């Protein structure tokens, strides 16, 4: 979701919780804590959105689903995910997914296996 949408959703939640009058009785960060930590268990939409975008990126990297194949064929043009460029004509969602590549890349370790799906030039090395 775009940040403007996230902010609007959180504004609606805050207004509902606090009745829209006066100052808040509790910090929003405390409201977003889990029940076990004394919060209301409301998820921070920004963090949740990032997690879901990372899940999509991971599925493009690892799955053999129809959606992943479509992404490779039409969005990546059968090129490597790591070298794909951000164009102005890409959808907002796909641009956000591609912007998360550095975060995923720093936590990846490749196992070469038989080398069939491993790129010496483009895949991250230890």
Model confidence over 5-62: pLDDT tens digits? 998 998 888 888 877 677 777 888 888 899 999 888 888 889 999 999 999 998 988 8
Task: Report the distance separating Cα 40 and Cα 32, nearest Å.
Answer: 6
Q: How confident is the model at residue 63 (pLDDT cuts 50, 70, 90)?
A: confident
Ramachandran region, residue 113 (left: φ > 0; alpha: ψ -120 to 50; beta: rest): left
pLDDT at 112: 65
Secondary-structure breakdown of the chain: helix, strand, coil percentages, each rounded to the nearest 5: 55, 0, 45
DSSP 71: I
pLDDT at 120: 64
What SS3 state is found at 30? helix
């Amino acid at each position: 979701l775009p940040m403007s949408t996230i902010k609007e959703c959180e504004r609606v939640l805050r207004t509902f919780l606090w009745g829209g009058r006066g100052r808040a009785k509790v910090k929003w960060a405390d409201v977003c804590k889990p029940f076990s930590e004394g919060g209301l268990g409301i998820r921070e939409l920004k963090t949740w959105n990032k997690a879901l975008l990372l899940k999509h990126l991971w599925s493009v990297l690892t799955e053999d689903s129809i959606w992943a194949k479509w992404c490779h064929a039409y969005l990546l043009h059968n090129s490597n995910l790591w070298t794909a460029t951000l164009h102005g004509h890409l959808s907002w969602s796909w641009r956000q997914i591609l912007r998360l590549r550095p975060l995923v890349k720093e936590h990846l370790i490749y196992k070469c296996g038989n080398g069939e799906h491993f790129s010496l030039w483009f895949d991250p090395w230890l």
